[in-house]
Amino acid sequence: MISSRCACASAAARVALYSARGSSAAGAAAAAVVARGGSKTLTHRSLRARSSAHYPRTRNQAQACGRGQQQQQASTLSGDKLVEPPTAVVDGKVGGDSLKNRAVAAWLFGTAGAVAVMVTVGGITRMTKSGLSMTDWKIQGSLPPSSEAEWEAEFDRYKAFPEWQQRRSMTLDEFKHIFFWEYAHRMLGRALGVVYGVPLLYFGLRGRIPAHIRGRVAGLFALGGAQGLVGWWMVKSGLEDRSADLAVGKEIRVSPYRLAAHLATAFTTFSLLVHTGFQALDGPRAASPSATDAARRLLDAGVMRQGSNLRVMAMGVCGAAFVTAVSGAFVAGNDAGRCYNCFPKMTEEDWLPEEILAFRPMWRNFFENSATVQADHRALALTTTGAALGMFWYARRGAGGGTGTLWAALPAAPRAATTATAGLVTAQASLGITTLLQCAPLPLAASHQAGALTVLASSMWAAHSLRFAHVPPSAVATSSSISPKMPPPVGS
């Protein structure tokens, strides 16, 4: 009786270990025996025989499955490095639906790239003061003026709005130039709807969108439509009656609040596209081989904890980069990049100008006072830079454990991502300082806005590449006591 119970317990242990090593068929067969209360000794050979009976496969499928399992097991531990399994074994096929998911991910990443182009063109539109040149908004779009008479009519419509009162010296040729940028920005928005919507329809009808991201890709389509509405809401703020501003000589421009909302929506769309693309490549965590289980078995608990800390740092850099970019919208909305053009001090004599809190009520300073919004952006940019460099230092120098330093234990992707993030953030900060010192010339200012997107994308990549380190504390605490090796067969 005792021998029977021991055999059952050993069989149950073998079930767990087979499952941990990816042998789902053998695990299922062993589980069936244990469930029937069988006391028969289970060996490697008997488990393989039972799994073949339950899950018949062709010889080619069996060989492919075997190769996939060997690759997964061999690639899990290289020295003391954790390496992501390269392929999944699904229904006896190496790779499963990975090729389909790659196509979906390519579509999402490509759309994110198109959003980045549109954000950059939008920045040029603002910097050339072109945003108020089109005074109406047609959902279906429209062709630009083609004849001299049509251009004159469009120019006359522009003259009926407040901005013209401050730009009376503008010629028709100058109007054509600013009209071009606003028209290009709007047409890019409509093209983006096609770039995203047509593949969405195609992949959806063919059932190729992974189930775990279907709701998000539908929501992204709605978010893109909302972005167009937010853009027109922003433009309308510059077309309203501005008699009071004209009386005191205040420059007519769109509301900085609405500009920040427009930019924040664009950055949110970009971030969700990148994140969803990563999720499409991953597949649902329960159905694809995850590095998490391997990490629990193979990494020292201390190193695992440090990897989790590094992931938190990467997510912090993501958040800091996003907030810094939104603060940059208030700098742009108040044209604050063309004042206080000194660094590190804001003036030649003072670190902070006297008028930094001049507005009442005081909260308005943080959104409408050029001195305050620029000081905010400087502080946030330095915080983001410090966070990114701190993350890189922690990965390289600030961690150690029973299996060596964290850097030596990390796979190639997290090391590349943290290095890229640190380098891009440093370049972005340097570009921002140069743009400020040069009074925000168009090429530098546009490059600085595009650089914010690259920093955000690289920090998201860093956080995603460290997803294997996201494990419950209880799992980390017991990781060192779990052996990755298969015990000898019962009765041997």
Angle made by CA atoms 306, 307, 310, in degrees to the nearest 5:
90
CA dihedral 213, 214, 218, 223 (to 10 degrees): -10
Structure pTM?
Answer: 0.76
Q: Which residue has the higher pLDDT, 220 or 302?
A: 220
With the C-alpha atoms ordered 292, 295, 296, 301, is the resulting torsion angle positive or negative?
negative
How confident is the model over 189-243, as pLDDT tens digits? Answer: 999 999 999 999 999 999 999 999 999 999 999 999 999 999 999 999 999 888 8
How confident is the model over 437-472, as pLDDT tens digits? Answer: 999 999 999 999 999 999 999 999 999 999 877 655
Q: Which residue has the higher pLDDT, 101 or 373?
A: 373
Least confident residue range of 129-138, 192-201, 368-377: 129-138
The per-residue pLDDT for 397 is: 80
pLDDT band at 76 (very low <50, low <70, confident <90, very high): very low
With a cut of 90, say whether residue 136 has pLDDT above it: no
Q: Is there a contact between 441 and 400 (Cβ–Cβ < 8 Å)?
A: no
Nearest to 251 by CA among 155, 368, 141, 362: 368
**Average pLDDT over the chain, rounded to an integer:** 79
d(CA 120, CA 45): 62
The per-residue pLDDT for 235 is: 94
Q: Report how far apart, in Å, the C-alpha atoms of 288 and of each of 65, 279, 347 are.
A: 14, 12, 57
Compute how many other C-beta atoms are within 10 angstroms of the C-beta atom of residue 237.
16
How confident is the model over 5-37, as pLDDT tens digits? Answer: 444 444 444 444 444 344 444 444 444 444 444
pLDDT band at 420 (very low <50, low <70, confident <90, very high): very high
With a cut of 60, say whether residue 272 has pLDDT above it: yes
d(CA 69, CA 10): 23
Cis status, amide bond into 361, omega within 30 of 0: yes
Q: Is there a contact between 23 and 75 (Cβ–Cβ < 8 Å)?
A: no
Q: Which residue has the higher pLDDT, 273 or 474?
A: 273
Q: Is there a contact between 462 and 320 (Cβ–Cβ < 8 Å)?
A: no
Cis status, amide bond into 344, omega within 30 of 0: yes
The per-residue pLDDT for 375 is: 97
CA 299 to chain centre: 27
Q: Is there a contact between 85 and 76 (Cβ–Cβ < 8 Å)?
A: yes
Spell out the residues 6+ positions from residue 337 whose beta carbon is closer than 8 angstroms to its own: 331, 374, 435, 436, 439, 440, 445
d(CA 197, CA 184): 20
CA 486 to chain centre: 39
CA 114 to chain centre: 14
d(CA 325, CA 323): 5
Nearest to 22 by CA among 105, 78, 79, 96: 96
Residue position matching structure tokens 């004042």: 339
Cα Rg of the chain, angstroms: 29
pLDDT band at 140 (very low <50, low <70, confident <90, very high): low
The per-residue pLDDT for 108 is: 97
The per-residue pLDDT for 246 is: 80
pLDDT band at 74 (very low <50, low <70, confident <90, very high): very low
Least confident residue range of 83-97, 281-295, 382-396: 83-97
Q: Which residue has the higher pLDDT, 83 or 413?
A: 413
d(CA 257, CA 234): 9
Least confident residue range of 244-253, 303-312, 358-367: 244-253
Question: How many Cα neighbours within 13 Å face the side chain of 34?
Answer: 20
